[in-house]
Amino acid sequence: MKKLMTGLCLTLLSMTVLTACGGGQQTSTGSNPAPETSTEAPKQEKVQVNLWHAWGGSSQEIMDQLIENYNASQDQVEVTATFQGSYGDLSSKLQTAIAAGNQPEAAILERSTIINFARAGALEDLNQYDVDMSDFIPGLLSSTTYDGALVSIPAGRSMPILYYNKEHFKEVGLDPESPPATLEELKEYAERLTIPGERVGYESPTGIWNFSHLVMTYGGRLVNEEATDIGFADGAGVQALSLWNSMLKAGTMKAPPPAEADVTTLRDFVSGRVSMVSLSTGGLTIVMNNVGDAFEFGTAFMPSDNGHLVVPTGGADIAMMANSSQDKKDAMMDFVQWVTSTEQNVFISKSSGYVPTRFSAVESEEMQALYLENPLYKVAVDQLPYANDTDIYVNWSQVSREITQQVELNVLDGSIDEETAIRQIQEAVSPLFNP
Amino acid sequence: MDRVGRTSVQQPEISRNLVFKLRKHAGLAIESILLSVLAILFVFPFLWMVLTALKSPEEALIFPPTLMPQTWNFQSFAEVWQSGPFGTYLTNSVVIVAAILAAQLITAVPSAYVFAKYRFKGKEFLFLLVLLTMIIPSQLTFVPLYLMMSEWQLLDSLVPLILPFVVTPFGIFLLRQQILQIPDELFEAAKIDGAGEGRTMYHVLLPMIKPAVVTVMLLSFITHWNDYFWPLVMTNTMELRTLPLGVANLKGLEGNSKWNVVMAGNCILALPLLILFMLNSKRLKESIAFTGVK
């Protein structure tokens, strides 16, 4: 009986596995493309390298296009790109794969997760290769270095910008060509734009991204320079929370539910229920598509604190894994250089709404023509000099979770005041900074 | 006296009957209203999913949201299908789940039978071990399992998606509870009639625990059909991936998702589950009513 059972079990398993393997169709992202049969060098085969990424949906199409173009552009290297879920999924999976020695040659990692891989020694120091970083916009580079090593190169990066409804501005007698430049103005404009029960002047997600814009603009940092504590305990944090709270209490600001913050904010803006929102540059195309001819809108810098402005960035860098053979690394490096080149940088920026990461890309004819045709895109580029990230810290994911939680308790729940929120953040994160 | 007494009693009897009837009807009415509300609560998310799938990407975002699509857009399903090798995802999902269910059935019924009806030294301890595996979270086991599969060079196949799940401790537990309720005499009778263990299991035991078996299989189906993380960790090529991964792939970055397409993907994912549930709802109810396990 037992034998019969095991036998049956094994047959079933092997049968299913066999049929499944036979049934797989070859796609553009296939694992075993046909070997190159070049007439000049018959022995030469393309070096196979793997790239992991988290670009789903419309970003997946951009990625597929990039890979296809690269593989067709030369006959030395064949890159296979694999979608690995969200940036969080990708990070967990990569950690596991590195432990087993099954890692890909490169991965496009969310910028704040890079430092963890760098500290573990999993990332290749790109300084060994012929990489020139002087063309890259300095504000986007804080995630790319670790302990003197160049561990990543910006791939697709975004920033928050202010979107505003010009029709609403005209309605209340505001100049549609002069959006709020300072946080004081933002507050004042929001008050004028609000019609109780009908629309709200300003909406902003209250997650870590928008919180960091306020904190940094008020002169603080998320993590201090020495990486020993949070960098907003002495005033900037309280100031940031107070601004949100005063606007929320006055009913001139709406805070979307945290779980669906981006999509709620976007939806409220395109349906005219709020007049100003802060959203990612990556959302510009979708806002344009959804607003259509319904109303005219503009984009602007994030508001400053009397001229002082610091804007966080988002998105991902491409990083190479240290633990592969040198010829694979050389092959992958060729792709890394190609995909971060000015030309591809322009392509990614134009098709995705990510900001260009190179000065030469910003100055390129193609981008300049685009900005002339559609000035809405230009705002993000002009805002680039104000970019900075102050969240590069090994325990960042835990620290940011604590901050977000206390901010929510204070802003959305109202159950604790600003000082208590900041104090509780400090208490909660201090063991994370001094393990 | 008799007559007077009768009439005086009859009067309230009629009204009492009426009250009773009314009460019964009112009770029924309240019951059906409550059940309808509950039904709407449960059905609405599914309805919303289907209706959103049929909207245009713009309409899926507007506020106030529309219930019925203004223009019926069946394009989203085509877009899902073209977004990747969805036929392959579907085949993989079916193959993996079928293999897991078959293997679980083969392992769970005999083990449950043994744990329920056999007497041997260390049985309680072994059963405790089986139960223990249920309380270890998968987050704890996926790294060592991955390393194991990697060492056995099984990673680029469907084996790691099936092998770790061929035994279901929960199934063994549930079936054992069911078998415990069956009197020993039945099995003894079968033995006296000359049936071996295999025949007893197949002809006597299985028909009696059928509802429980269906429940176990259905729950297991849901778990593995919807499983996202495990297939994601274990596979690197599209040819080996399953439906939930294909659906996750539909979501864009930074809020840039076409929600109608994402919902169309979810429709494709949820349809087999719904069909199976409808076909087996009676058995499901039976087994829950009998065991008291919820």
Instruction: Tell me the nearest-neighbour CA distance from A120 into chain B, angstroms.
Output: 17
Check B238 against A29: CB less than 8 A apart: yes
Nearest CA in chain A to B199: A1
With residue A379 as reference, give the H or E element that holds it.
helix A378-383
Whether the CB-CB separation of A371 and A346 falls below 8 Å is answered with no
Query: End-to-end alpha-carbon separation of chain A, Å?
Result: 57
Same domain? A248 vs A260: yes
DSSP category for residue A145: E
Q: Answer yes or no: do A71 and A59 share one domain.
A: yes
Nearest C-alpha in B relative to A281: B254
In a shared domain, residues A253 and A337: no
Query: Looking at the 3D structure of chain A, how many domains does it have?
Result: 2
Q: Which residues of B touch A49 (CB under 8 A)?
A: none
Confidence of residue A422 (pLDDT cuts 50, 70, 90): very high
The pLDDT value given to residue B185? 87
Q: Is the pLDDT of residue A271 over 60?
A: yes
CA distance to A275, B186, B222, B270, per residue, from B286 (Å): 56, 21, 19, 24
- Answer whether A181's CB lies under 8 Å from A303's CB: yes
- Structural domain includes residue A4: no
User: Tens digits of per-residue pLDDT, B142-187?
Assistant: 888 999 999 998 888 899 999 999 999 999 999 999 999 888 888 8
| Whether the complex's predicted ipTM surpasses the cut of 0.85 | no
User: Cα–Cα distances in Å, from B209 out to A299, B176, B198, B218?
Assistant: 65, 10, 15, 14
Residue A53 and residue A33: Cα distance in Å, rounded? 20
DSSP letters of B176-243? HHHHHTS-HHHHHHHHHTT--HHHIIIIIIHHHTHHHHHHHHHHHHHHHHH--HHHHHH--SGGG--H
Virtual torsion, Cα B281, B283, B288, B291, nearest 10 deg: 180
A80 and A147 co-located in one domain: yes
Chain B residue numbers touching A50 (CB-CB < 8 A): 236
| Closest alpha carbon to A144 in A136, A135, A153 | A153
A278: domain CATH number is: 3.40.190.10
- A1 occurs within a structural domain: no
pLDDT surpasses 70 at A37? no
| Residue A414: per-residue pLDDT | 82
Residue B166 confidence (pLDDT): 94
A207 belongs to a structural domain: yes
Q: Which of these, B113, B97, B64, lies nearest to B231 by C-alpha position? A: B97
Nearest to B58 among A263, A290, A353 (CB): A290
Look at residue A3 and tell me if it is in a domain: no
| DSSP structure class, residue A304 | B
Residue A414 lies in a domain: yes
**CA B10, B12, B15, B21 torsion: positive or negative?**
negative
Q: Residue A15 pLDDT more than 80?
A: no
Q: Tell me which of A323, A338, A373 is where a domain ends.
A: A373
> Which position has the token pair 């309280």?
A238
CB B244 within 8 A of CB B227: yes
What is the torsion angle, in degrees rounded to the nearest 10, for the CA atoms of residue A393, residue A397, residue A403 and residue A404? Answer: 140
Least confident segment among A35-39, A205-209, A351-355, B32-36: A35-39
Say yes or no for a CB contact (<8 Å) between A57 and B252. Answer: yes
pLDDT at residue B13, as a whole number? 66
Residue-level pLDDT at B57: 83
Using the 8-state DSSP alphabet, how is residue A412 labeled? I
In a domain, A26, yes or no: no
In this prediction, the residues of chain B whose per-residue pLDDT falls under 70 are: 1-14, 254-256, 287-294
CB contact (8 A) between residue A57 and residue B256 = yes
On whether both A107 and A201 belong to a single domain, the answer is no
* Distance, CA of A204 to CA of B138 (rounded, Å): 37
Average pLDDT of span A73-85: 93
Question: Which residues of A are less than 8 Å from B100 in CB distance?
Answer: none
pLDDT at A398: 87
β partners of residue A77: A47
A37-46, A96-105, A239-248, B170-179: the lowest-pLDDT one? A37-46
Q: Say whether both A114 and A179 belong to one domain.
A: no
What's the pLDDT at A19? 39
How many angstroms separate the CA atoms of B135 and B141, rounded? 11
pLDDT higher than 70, residue A268: yes
| Whether residue A175 is found in the same domain as residue A298 | yes
Kindly state whether residues A122 and A252 are assigned to the same domain.
no
> Across residues A107-122, what is the average pLDDT?
93
- Are A215 and A330 within one domain? no
Distance CA B100, CA B130 (A): 18
Interface test with B, best of A9, A67, A200, A286 (most B CBs within 10 A): A286
- Distance between CA atoms of residues A89 and A317, nearest Å: 16
In a domain, A307, yes or no: yes
Q: Is residue A304 one of the residues assigned to a domain? A: yes
pLDDT at B292: 43
> Other CB atoms closer than 10 Å to residue A398's CB: what's the count?
14
List the A77-83 sheet strands across, edge first. Answer: A77-83, A47-53, A106-110, A314-320, A153-158
pLDDT exceeds 80 at position A17:
no
Is residue A176 reached through a cis peptide bond, with omega within 30 degrees of 0 on the bond before it? no
The predicted model gives A353-368 an average pLDDT of 92
Does residue A72 or residue A391 have the better pLDDT? A72
Reduced to 3 states (helix: H, G, I; strand: E, B; else coil), residue A78 is: strand
Question: CA separation (Å) from A277 to A261, A262, A330, B37, B179?
Answer: 11, 10, 44, 37, 62
What per-residue confidence (pLDDT) applies to B251?
Answer: 83
pTM: 0.80
Q: Which of residues 61-100 of A touch B (CB under 8 A)?
A: 82-86, 89, 92-93, 96-97, 99-100
The per-residue pLDDT for range A210-256, each reduced to its tens digit, is 999 999 999 999 999 888 889 999 889 999 999 999 999 999 999 99
Domain of A202, in residue numbers: 160-312+395-433
Structure-block tokens of residue A363: 């100055």
Q: Do A82 and A122 reside in the same domain of the chain?
A: yes
Same domain, A295 and A406: yes
Stronger pLDDT, A175 or B82, i.e. the higher one: A175
3-state helix/strand/coil string of A236-281:
HHHHHHHHHHHHHHHCCEECCCHHHHHHHHHHHHHCCCEEEEEEEH
- Judged by a CB distance cut-off of 8 A, whether residue A280 touches chain B is yes
H helices of chain B, in order, are 2-53, 75-82, 86-117, 123-135, 138-151, 159-162, 169-180, 184-192, 197-199, 206-208, 210-226, 229-234, 243-248, 259-291
Same domain, A151 and A168: no
Tell me if B99 and A280 make a contact (CB, 8 A cut-off).
no
Give the model's pLDDT for residue B278: 87
**Is B246 buried (19+), middle (13-18) or exposed (0-12) by CB count in 10 A?**
buried
- Length of chain B, please? 294
Q: Which residues of chain A make contact with B81, given a CB cutoff of 8 A?
A: none
Is B227 within 8 Å of B252 (Cβ atoms)? Answer: no
Ordered structural domains, chain B, with CATH: 84-249 (1.10.3720.10)
Q: What is the mean pLDDT of residues A69-94?
A: 93
Taking alpha carbons only, the member of A255, A259, A268 closest to residue A411 is: A255
Q: Alpha-carbon distance B70 to A218, whole Å? A: 47
